[in-house]
Structure 1
Amino acid sequence: MGNFQLEDFVAGWIGGAASVIVGHPLDTVKARLQAGSGYGSTLSCIRTVYRRESVFGFFKGMSFPLASIAVYNSVVFGVFSNTQRFLSHHRCQEPEAGPPHVLSDLLLASMVAGVVSVGLGAPVDLIKIRLQMQTQPFQEGGYGVATKVMPGPCLCL
């Protein structure tokens, strides 16, 4: 992997991780409101989650997207750039000698990357939403020991 690609991978992971950390609490509120769990408003949902589950309730389901964001971003951006290169090569036979990427190449590369993005992102989102929808942090386990309802993405699968 070249230096440029490694920098892209690291930048994609850092940017993706930052977006997950910053946006996840609001995404949790959005998921709860969309489920129609009887929260009157956004502010009511925020207060209820905080009161019942503390600040940690806003971060349920965050571990899996955070762990997978580097792979997700690198695959999607890699598919986009490789598709673009492939199209350019087959259109010009020598990509360096040909004109810059044409709009049709960009459009097709974006479509292919979008399909891959949905294929990778949908399962991650499903697991994240199932974990976010847990409103009870613990359930009674055997011998009176409290255990998490769905302790993580592996058991959610």
Structure 2
Amino acid sequence: MDGRTGQNTPLYDQNAYHDLLRRNKAVVCALSASYISTFAGYPLDSIKSRLQTTKTAVSIPRLAAMVYKEEGIMGFYRGLWIPLMTISFVRAASFTIYSRTKEYFAIHDILYKNTLVDVALTGGIAGAMSGALISFGSAPFELVKVRRQLEYSIAASKGISLNKAPGTLDAVKEIFKANGMKGLYTGFPLHFVRDTTGTALYFLEYDGMRHLLGRNRSGEQGPTPSWLPIHHSLVPFVCGSLSGVTSWAIIYPLDVVKTKVQQRALAGEKYRGPFETLHRLIRGADPSNPKPLLAGMVRLYRGLGVSALRSITTHGLLWTFFDMTATYIDRLPSTPSPEPSTDYSRP
């Protein structure tokens, strides 16, 4: 209590708190949305990794039943704490780079006409920069995640029977012991190309779709077009889901090759380059008896169905909660400002 006024002194300055949220809106929105979407989509991501590395075709329900029988419900969440732990870095940094790049383009009037081409290109360039820079930090964590998801298949390739899979820290120690810090970047070139290309396509498509569905350059959502008269609250989910599915489908073969290269390296097997790995995935291991091209392509896209479902869930929820949080922050009361400013950074 303030003795001079006889009134209770607030524990914090509400205006300063609101200003802090506004200054760090991209970070706050990315964190809150990512935790929810990552937890919801992680079991599907785990099944996807297993489908990509199995040598024989198996249905998703059967594989899920096998995982549940051998590892229980926690088998679907093996390695979950890795993306949850690193989400504060990856998502926050990614959306910050993406938002700041768009803001820079707006301030310097680069590709800032209110046309579909300019909007999409701005999002694509911002996404490429974001994906390229973030890949240096995310590569080790994704490698450990793949290791945790594929513990049993890696052990089987070594002729080891696991009663209980080692923990995450044990997995990191084993990778580091075998190849040092370099081991944590196993498959990094493929990871870099995948993240740069995939993130560029993802944001290019998302910003382009949002423009088509009525959002203007300042970030305000207008009426949706007559050919898709949906409620404005569904726009982020629809655009997030479609951009997530289509961009992922384009780079999916690259992700399959990356996962396979990493699996062989983690199992201590002979190294095969990306092109050799791709050729063997499509045509098989026996050059004298190659598999039919169509059958090979089907194998290359094994797990795409569950991956598409994961993308719909993860990216739809991500943008829905991102938009909800951004709207909440935009509506917070603020102290009067002498000069109103335009929010260029809103995704």
Distance in 2 (alpha carbons) for counterparts of 1:9 and 1:37: 41
Secondary structure of 2:168 counterpart: coil
1:53-68 map, 5 Å: 53-68=71-86
Whether 1:128 aligns to 2:140 is no
Distance in 2 (alpha carbons) for counterparts of 1:8 and 1:81: 7
1:103-142 map, 5 Å: 103-104=117-118, 107-117=121-131, 119-121=133-135, 123=139, 124-135=141-152
What CA deviation, in whole Å up to 9, does each residue of 1:54-93 have, x standing for no partner? 111111111111111122222122112211222222338x
Contact 1:53 1:135 in 2 (8 A): no
Contact 2:31 2:87 in 1 (8 A): yes
Larger Rg: 2
Distance in 2 (alpha carbons) for counterparts of 1:60 and 1:133: 9
Distance in 2 (alpha carbons) for counterparts of 1:65 and 1:117: 16
Distance in 2 (alpha carbons) for counterparts of 1:31 and 1:147: 19
The offset of 1:148, in angstroms, is 4.4
Distance in 2 (alpha carbons) for counterparts of 1:71 and 1:20: 14
Whether 1:74 aligns to 2:88 is no
Aligned in 2, Cα 1:151/1:64: closer, same or farther, shift over 3 Å?
closer
Distance in 1 (alpha carbons) for counterparts of 2:60 and 2:77: 16
Secondary structure of 2:151 counterpart: coil
**Where does the alignment leave 5 or more consecutive residues of structure 2 unmatched?**
1-18, 156-162, 176-183, 185-347
| Matched AA of 1:24 | Y
Aligned residues: 143
Distance in 2 (alpha carbons) for counterparts of 1:26 and 1:4: 34
The offset of 1:154, in angstroms, is 4.1
Distance in 2 (alpha carbons) for counterparts of 1:45 and 1:71: 32
Tell me the C-alpha RMSD between the 2 structures.
Answer: 3.1
User: 1:8 is matched with which residue?
Assistant: 26
**Where does the alignment leave 5 or more consecutive residues of structure 1 unmatched?**
93-98, 139-145
| Matched AA of 2:125 | M
Whether 1:149 aligns to 2:194 is no
Of the three residues 3, 6, 26, the one matched with 2:44 is: 26
The offset of 1:20, in angstroms, is 1.3
Contact 2:151 2:165 in 1 (8 A): no
Aligned in 2, Cα 1:46/1:119: closer, same or farther, shift over 3 Å?
farther
| Matched AA of 1:112 | A
- Please give the TM-score of this superposition, normalised by the length of structure 1: 0.72
The offset of 1:120, in angstroms, is 2.5
- Please give the TM-score of this superposition, normalised by the length of structure 2: 0.36
Contact 1:84 1:101 in 2 (8 A): no
Contact 2:34 2:91 in 1 (8 A): yes
Aligned in 2, Cα 1:147/1:30: closer, same or farther, shift over 3 Å?
closer
Of the three residues 58, 61, 66, the one matched with 1:43 is: 61
The offset of 1:109, in angstroms, is 4.5
Contact 1:61 1:128 in 2 (8 A): yes
